[in-house]
Amino acid sequence: MMLPAHASLDLESSVVIVNQKDGEGSIGLRNTSSEPLLLHSEIIDIPEDISDVLFVAPSITRVEPGDTQIVRFILKDDANLKVERLKRVSFEGIPYAEPNVVRVTIRQNIPLIIRPAQLPPNSEPWKLLKWENAAGQIAVENTGPYVVRMGAEIQVQPSGDGIFLPRNYILPGERVVLRSQQFYPEIRKILFRPASVNGYLLDNQEALVVEGQVAGR
């Protein structure tokens, strides 16, 4: 029986940061398997932002066993950035294999954040979120210029009930209503788990909920 050829890639980071002032960002990927890999790197748009502001180099390359390949994400000259932008990046390692050998590829998909040149780093961008009680439903608005990532579940206090964001990020200037079958007209606090710049979920953070309007997504 012909055994499958396995691919194995180690990423040096769980997120790619592209700084406009540098014109690019990069990440190293190490081939930890015993065979050469064909590495395919691809930028993936999120539904809310399909702008074509980056290109990847190299998009396809061979990586020998034990070697590390640096993949660069280069901003186009006409990129107009005022707030952070969010993309995702897919890395696929495809092993070279003999005929009739099953090839098992590995694919990793991580966030990519584009940071404007004039925008300083902020390790706690979730503090710029505004939480509202919108007629018994919880709404959240990102009042800052930073992408905020977090766990999808929000805990209502003091009941501890869980309600969910439609996705695990909130873009700059975006307002999202967390739809729930239950109404919370008296809610004043919630707990949520923000993500660090490197993408790791942190401890619960408490936020005050103010009166708001129903209008929103």
Q: How does pLDDT run across 90-117, given as a tens digit for each residue?
A: 999 988 766 655 566 788 999 999 999 9
151 and 109 in a common domain: no
Q: For residue 124, what are its two tokens?
A: 């706690």
Is 157 within the bounds of a domain?
yes
User: What range does the domain containing 165 cover?
Assistant: 125-211
CA end-to-end span of the chain, whole Å? 54
Residues 23 and 73: their CA atoms lie apart, in Å, by 9
List all residues 6 or more positions away from 76 whose beta carbon is below 8 Å from its beta carbon. Answer: 52, 53, 54, 55
Q: Are residues 131 and 110 in the same domain?
A: no
Q: What is the pLDDT of residue 181?
A: 75
| Ranges in the chain, pLDDT < 50 | 1-4, 215-217
- pLDDT at position 216 is 44
